[in-house]
Amino acid sequence: MNYQAEREEVCAYGREMLDSNLTIHTSGNVSRRVPEGMLITPSNTPYHDIKPEDVLMMDLDGNVLEGEANPSVEHKVHIACYKFREEVQGVIHSHPQLGTAFAAARVPLPGFLDEFGVFVGEEVRVADYAMSGTPDVAENLVKALGEDSNAAFLASHGMVTVGRTLFDAMRVAKMVERAAGTYLWTMALGGPADLPEDARQFFRQAFQIFRAG
C-alpha cells in the first residue's frame, strides 16, 4: 500500500475534526492531494475507526483507484477544489455548529478580524444552494471560494476549507468557527468596527503570499 504516512495524516485530521467539534459522528470528510489525485476518508465510517487502508485513493475524474469502501457523495467538492486551485493540497469538509448556522441563514462571514484576513481571506461566502451530491454543489462551492478565500459555506449544509497543507485547512476551519461565534457576540455589542483600508490591503497581500507559499 502506497502513501502510508499520507493516509495516516488523513485519518489523524479526520479524528481532529471530530474531536474539535467541527462535525459529529461520520459527517464531513477530509482529503489530501497525491500525484494520482487524492486520498479521502470513506463514507459512513466513524473517524476513530478509519484505518490507513480504509482511506480511498481517487483520481480527479471521480474514479476510485484504491480502496474497498464507498466514497462520500461529497467527494466531488474535494475534486473541484483541487482542480480549481492548484496550490491546494488539503481539503476539509465539516459541519461545525456556528459556521453551519451562517450556511443555513445564508449569511456570509466578513473578514472583521486581523488574522482572519491573513489566513481565511476576504470573507467566507455562501455558495448557491444545490442538492447534496450533485455536480452543481461542487461548481457553486469553488465559485464562492474564488481566489481570495480559503473557506466557503455550503448553503443549508456546512463548510469547506482548503489549504496548502491539511494543517492549514484545519487552522482555517477552526478560525472560521471561532470567528463565527465572535461575530455573533460582536453583533450583540453593536457590530464590528471597520478595519482601516490600508490594513485590509496589507492582509490581502499577506493572504496571497501565504497562498502562493
- Residues that are catalytic: 74
CB of 156 to Zn ion, least distance (A): 11
Instruction: Give the shortest CB-108-to-Zn ion separation in angstroms.
Output: 19
* 29/23 Cα distance (integer angstroms): 9
Task: Indicate the residue among 42 and 158 with the shorter CB distance to Zn ion.
Answer: 158
What are the strands, taking DSSP E only, across the chain? 29-34, 37-40, 56-58, 64-66, 90-94, 109-110, 123-127, 151-154, 158-163
**Contact string (CB under 5 A) for Zn ion, positions 54-93, x = contact:** ----------------------------------------
When the beta carbons of 96 and 158 are compared against Zn ion, the nearer one is: 158
User: Closer to Zn ion at the Cβ: 67 or 158?
Assistant: 158
Count of residues of this chain found to bind Zn ion when the rule CB under 5 A is applied: 1
Residue 125 CB burial class (10 angstroms; 0-12, 13-18, ≥19): buried
Least Cα distance to 30 among 120, 83, 91, 99 occurs for: 91
Residue with cell 455558495: 127
Separation between Cα atoms, residue 34 and residue 120, nearest integer Å: 23
- Least gap, CB of 25 to Zn ion (angstroms): 11
Task: Name the closest residue to Zn ion (Cβ).
Answer: 158
Question: Residue 169 is inside which H or E element, if any?
Answer: helix 166-188
Please give the grid coordinates belonging to residue 117. 484576513
Query: In the complex with Zn ion, which residue's Cβ is closer, 99 or 158?
Result: 158
CB of 106 to Zn ion, least distance (A): 16
Residue list 133-162, contact with Zn ion (CB under 5 A): 158
Q: Are 184 and 98 in contact (CB under 8 A)?
A: yes
Give the footprint of Zn ion on this chain (CB under 5 A). Answer: 158
